[in-house]
Structure 1
Amino acid sequence: MRSLVRRFFVAVFALLLLFEEWGWEPLAALLARLGRLPFFAWLERRIRALPPYAALAAFFAPALLLVPIKLAALWFIAQGHGGWGLAVLVAAKIAGTALVARLFALTQPTLMQLAWFARWYPRWKGWKDRVIAEVKGSPGWQAVQRAKAAAAAQWAQFRKNLG
């Protein structure tokens, strides 16, 4: 039973990691473009200049700021508005991923000055990369990738036939 529960949580966590991995770079790049605007450029300079523990607080701030939004999503679901609740949760997850990804890009050099962070981050990254590689190597993932490629080919053929 314990092994089954562990596998379930690892599978759920792997799905969350895949979502984060899928959105991390493109969302960070999107927010980096926003960083070209004067106010956001100023803000990014301030974030880069933070001392290590302030940078750590800035990195974790989006998680705390999104708690009320996620509670609102649960309230929508409890009130029988599951679609709205799910939409708010997805929007909060995307916004949170974008903010955390950009903040990490801005604060990583400073965070690496913290001995414990510099020691644990490579371990976390290695573990995460192994989990993602294992998921991407699984038969289920491979089947989804084949189906996705087939659907893309059919879509391209459909568009070609339209002229």
Structure 2
Amino acid sequence: MNWLLALAWRALRGVLIGLAALVLAIEEWGWRPLTAWAARLAKWAPLARLEARIRAAPPSVALALFLVPAVLLFPVKLLALWFIHMGRTMLGVVVIVAAKLLGTALVGRLFIITEAQLVQFAWFARALAWWRATKLRVRAALRRSGGWQAVQRARRRASVWLRRRTRGAR
């Protein structure tokens, strides 16, 4: 019976690591570039002034501002589902993807701007510390996994192959 539990745990752990890898991939390849893009936009004088006002806002206002994108994007996602329901599947998917990209850029930028105020809430500071520690543990477990190591070996081989091909083309 113990072997059955161990097998089930291994399977569940594999699924959880896969889901965590997906979250980390979205963060690495989505959150960072999108927030960098939003930071470039924020160099525009009116947005820079708005960001300065947000940085100076009290923690409760910063929290409200941080939650605004989620609240505002909810009806947009409902609209996308309505498009899908009405048979306009591609339009619905495009709306969902656009809302997700815009929402991620906005939430990421707002987080960067308001983090100092948000961590003044003890519950937020604890949640953020938990998330960062969990992310480190998951990243370490992911890097120890056979799948990750196989992908890294394949990536290195492809990189070497590509370098050889491009050197030969010169």
Question: TM-score of the superposition, structure 2-length normalised?
Answer: 0.76
Match of 1:114 in 2: 121
Q: Could you tell me how far 1:155 is from its partner in structure 2?
A: 4.4
Runs of 4+ in 1 over 6 A off after TM superposition: 2-7
Larger radius of gyration: 2
Q: Could you tell me how far 1:41 is from its partner in structure 2?
A: 0.4
Match of 2:5 in 1: none
Contact 1:66/1:96 (8 A) holds in 2: yes
Match of 2:54 in 1: 47
Question: TM-score of the superposition, structure 1-length normalised?
Answer: 0.79
What is the identity percentage for the equivalent residue pairs of Structure 1 and Structure 2? 48
Q: Could you tell me how far 1:9 is from its partner in structure 2?
A: 6.1
Instruction: Report whether the alignment pairs 1:70 with 2:99.
Output: no
In structure 1, which of residues 58, 67, 70 is the aligned counterpart of residue 65 of structure 2?
58
Size of the aligned set, in residue pairs, is 163
Aligned-residue RMSD, C-alpha: 2.9
Long gaps (5+) in structure 2: 1-7
Q: Go from structure 1 to structure 2 and tell me whether the alpha carbon gap of 1:23 and 1:133 turns closer, same or farther (over 3 Å shift).
A: farther
Contact 1:28/1:101 (8 A) holds in 2: yes
Long gaps (5+) in structure 1: none
Contact 2:20/2:138 (8 A) holds in 1: no
Match of 1:124 in 2: 131
Q: Could you tell me how far 1:76 is from its partner in structure 2?
A: 3.2
Match of 1:84 in 2: 91
Q: Could you tell me how far 1:85 is from its partner in structure 2?
A: 3.1
